[in-house]
């Protein structure tokens, strides 16, 4: 499969999209990074360049390999440029937007082009349902930051061709990632298990058992690399809240997945975490 794939398109130049594009380019694939916002593409190019240079400075990458990886990436605002063997979307977590994007991409590609979503929680079966040849639609869920995190979930919807899922596992594994196969359940594996890390942390804060700083410090001293509040800030408070809200609905409003109003207030105030300069912590 890795030999058959020559061009990979990534849609969405946010934190996840640019990270996925970097992974693909470093692995030697011609990579198209698409976003409708040219400013996002400019920021993505700077972020990828900075990330690769950091690897060079640490002696983990040769300077010539950094230049080679950068030469593999084409930055574009033109949807019609997304003619590829594999398309991975990392756009907004709204089902109707994903349907529109994939249908537009399907119209300019052949039926063999694999269409993958990096969604954190939207069922792959729902995404595939309104896309031509739904058997070639699956989830390829990277974790943030994509160049560093080894784990990738490969998710099969009800109609996904299982051979395509296996081929994608082989492809992503060849990029140095550890792949796990998941069925199409709400939150898949990681977000389902980890949801309570955030929800219970927020509930503990809401009940004034401890400050968010102390909750983080306790969990980090217990072996977690980041506490729930520091991790929410890194992921994006808004993104994390959106995933919780989606899972709450998908689990038919099971109380254990109920979103927290403290997090809702942060989102309403535009305090989205590290990317906005302030979330639970200040980064200004």
Which one of 51, 109, 121, 153 is the catalytic residue?
A: 153
Which one of 89, 117, 141, 272 is the catalytic residue?
A: 141
Which one of 117, 120, 240, 246 is the catalytic residue?
A: 120
Residue 41 backbone dihedrals phi, psi, to 5 degrees: -65, -40
The partner residues of 86 in beta bridges, in order of sequence, read: 8, 114
Give CA angle at 19 (260, 59), nearest 5°. Answer: 125
Is residue 282 flagged as an active site residue? Answer: no
Which one of 191, 240, 245, 260 is the catalytic residue?
A: 191
Rounded CA-CA distance 95/75 in Å is: 25
Is residue 207 flagged as an active site residue? Answer: no
**234: helix, strand or coil:** helix
**137: helix, strand or coil:** strand
Query: Tokens standing for 282?
Result: 């200040």
CA distance readout (Å), 72 to 44, 69, 176, 248: 14, 5, 18, 40
Is residue 99 flagged as an active site residue? Answer: no
Is residue 191 flagged as an active site residue? Answer: yes
Which regions of the chain does DSSP assign to beta strands (E)?
7-11, 30-34, 73-76, 86-89, 114-117, 137-142, 151-156, 178-183
Please identify every residue annotated as catalytic: 120, 141, 153, 191
């Amino acid at each position: 499969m890795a030999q058959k794939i020559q061009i990979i398109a990534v849609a969405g130049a946010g934190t996840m999209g640019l990270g996925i594009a970097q992974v693909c380019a470093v692995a030697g694939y011609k990579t198209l990074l698409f976003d409708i916002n040219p400013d996002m593409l400019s920021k993505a190019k700077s972020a990828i360049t900075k990330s690769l240079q950091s690897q060079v400075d640490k002696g983990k990458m040769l300077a010539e390999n950094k230049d080679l990886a950068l030469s593999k990436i084409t930055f574009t605002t033109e949807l019609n440029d997304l003619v590829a063997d594999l398309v991975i979307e990392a756009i907004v977590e709204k089902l109707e937007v994903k349907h529109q994007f994939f249908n537009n991409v399907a119209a300019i590609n052949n039926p063999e082009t694999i269409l993958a979503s990096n969604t954190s929680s939207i069922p792959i079966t729902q995404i595939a349902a309104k896309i031509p040849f739904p058997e070639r639609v699956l989830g390829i869920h990277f974790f943030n930051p994509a160049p560093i995190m080894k784990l990738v979930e490969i998710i099969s919807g009800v109609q996904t061709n299982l051979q395509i899922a296996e081929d994608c596992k082989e492809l992503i594994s060849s990029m140095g990632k550890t792949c796990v196969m998941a069925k199409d359940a709400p939150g898949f594996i990681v977000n389902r298990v980890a949801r309570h890390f955030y929800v219970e942390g927020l509930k503990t804060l809401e009940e004034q058992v401890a400050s968010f700083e102390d909750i983080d410090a306790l969990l980090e001293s217990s072996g977690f690399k980041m506490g729930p509040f520091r991790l929410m800030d890194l992921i994006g408070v808004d993104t994390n809240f959106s995933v919780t809200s989606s899972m709450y609905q998908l689990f038919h409003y099971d109380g254990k997945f109920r979103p927290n109003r403290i997090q809702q207030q942060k989102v309403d105030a535009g305090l989205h975490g590290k990317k906005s300069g302030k979330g639970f912590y200040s980064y200004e």
